[in-house]
Amino acid sequence: MQSIGFKKTSIKSTLVVIGPSDINKLFLFTSITKQKYLRTIDSLAKYLSTKFEQLYIIPDDGVFLDFAISFKKYNSNVCAYLPNNHELKYKLLEENTKKHHLNIKYTDWNWMKLNNLVVRNADTVLCLGYSSGVFIEIGNIKIARMWENKDISLIIDTRFVSSLLPKELAFDLPIIYYSSLQELKKHFEKL
């Protein structure tokens, strides 16, 4: 597997955030409000910036960009991966990266490869909402764990999702669910 551009400096050092590009899905399908959304994102980012050395994102509009902006206030090591410049939304991604002063990682990858490789090179994946793309990314965690022998953790904030994952998916993946920052902190205390 190709992992050019991914630099790990210690065990469990990299975090990837996945979720919907359209944050209105959160307000439509969950109980999180617009007022609570940014406060929750910021408190998570502040805490997780102390637990991880790097954040990997694809800087599309949505949950991951909002999280990255908050994370960067506390830890400047945010790597924004861009697909090749012929891909859909390339200009938007590049503009978001430059506007928020994220560390740009140019690739020659198409969207499918980009989404797969970013998730498969993380130590921990934080899920802040569901979308069709999120389920593809979750599937890639299983592939990386089984075929590439990687120890990737999946943590899901239940405030951002309408339901737990189906039992069939949970059977194949170690998933940690939490519903508050205090619960998430308890999880990290056990490590």
Q: What tens digit of pLDDT does each residue of 71-88 get?
A: 999 999 999 998 888 877
Q: Does residue 191 register a pLDDT over 80?
A: no
How would you label 2-18 residue by residue, b for 16+ Cβ within 10 Å and e otherwise? eeeebeeeeebbbbbbb
Q: Does residue 157 register a pLDDT over 70?
A: yes
> Domains (ranges, CATH) in the chain?
14-190 (3.40.50.450)
Q: How much is the mean pLDDT over the chain?
A: 89
Q: What tens digit of pLDDT does each residue of 16-44 get?
A: 999 999 999 999 999 999 989 999 999 99
Element (H, E) at 126: strand 124-127
